[in-house]
Amino acid sequence: MGEGRRVGETAVSFVPREQVAEAVKKAIEYSPKRRFKQSIEMIIVLKDIDPRSPGGRIRETIFLPKGVKKDIKICVVADGDTVIKAREAGAHKVITRAELQTIDKKSAKKIAQECDWVLVRTDLMAQAGRILGPALGPRGKIPVPVPPSADIVSVMNRYKRAVLIRTKDQPQIMCRIGTEDMNINDVVENAYAVLSALETKLRSPRQNIAKIIIKTTMGPPIEVLWR
């Protein structure tokens, strides 16, 4: 969407860190206790953005500095030694070249539903795109190419702390920035990583961001008071 951050401008300098921290703290405090570990989510409402136009479409993978302390399910499509290493590293699902050919539409939908990220060795991208793509696309997921020479364990660990931000039909973005048991400062660091990445995608971040909201999975929305 054109130039984002101006030269010399500090990333998200217009959003006070203490206000983000206060919103995170309230979101945790006001959230009803559940029997599961709730995620902390950030919702960014945009204005003067048309998500249906090419310039208004935002899609960005962000690697959170503090991770999210959730069980992120990684699927790996590969062959040879990469298969062994991925299994040893605890991949949720490992699919070989031969197994890829046996996947039908029902199985592809199950993989798309279960896995947060699908890492695919580059020489299998064409097949994976054809077989898994139709199931991954509607869920906003795409196969991630991995060079054959890459250390699959390092790539897996990197994507375990990744989130995808994107606009759909509405001018807003929602993503997970942590869990309720994380240190508040760590959650704030993750929030700033998302805001900083988003800032580079907006023509005028201060004007294009209408609201920033923090909430737990089952808790009430808490607005960041930054204006």
The dotted CATH code for 74-159 is 3.40.50.790
Q: For 164-212, what is each residue's pLDDT tens digit? A: 999 988 999 999 999 999 999 999 999 999 999 998 888 889 899 999 9
Top-level CATH class of 17-69+161-223? alpha beta
Cβ burial, residue 80 (10 Å; 0-12/13-18/19+): exposed
User: Is residue 141 within 8 Å of residue 32, measured between CB atoms?
Assistant: no
Beta strands 93-95 and 74-77: pairing type?
parallel
Q: For 15-32, what is each residue's pLDDT tens digit? A: 999 999 999 999 999 999
Rounded to whole angstroms, the Cα distance separating 212 from 227 reads: 10
Nearest Cα to 180, choosing from 59, 1, 24, 48? 24
Lookup: tokens for 159: 């994507």
* 1 CB-near residues (< 8 Å, 6+ apart): 55, 56, 58, 201, 202, 203
Amino acid at residue number 120 = V
pTM: 0.87
Rounded to whole angstroms, the Cα distance separating 42 from 216 reads: 9
Domain boundaries, the chain: 17-69+161-223, 74-159
User: Is residue 133 within 8 Å of residue 145, measured between CB atoms?
Assistant: no
Rounded to whole angstroms, the Cα distance separating 209 from 190 reads: 18
Residue 4, pLDDT > 70, answer no
Which of the four pLDDT bands, split at 50, 70 and 90, describes residue 56? confident
Helix (H, G, I), strand (E, B) or coil at 60: strand
Comparing 17-69+161-223 with 74-159, is the CATH topology the same? no
Helix (H, G, I), strand (E, B) or coil at 175: strand
Rounded to whole angstroms, the Cα distance separating 19 from 149 reads: 44
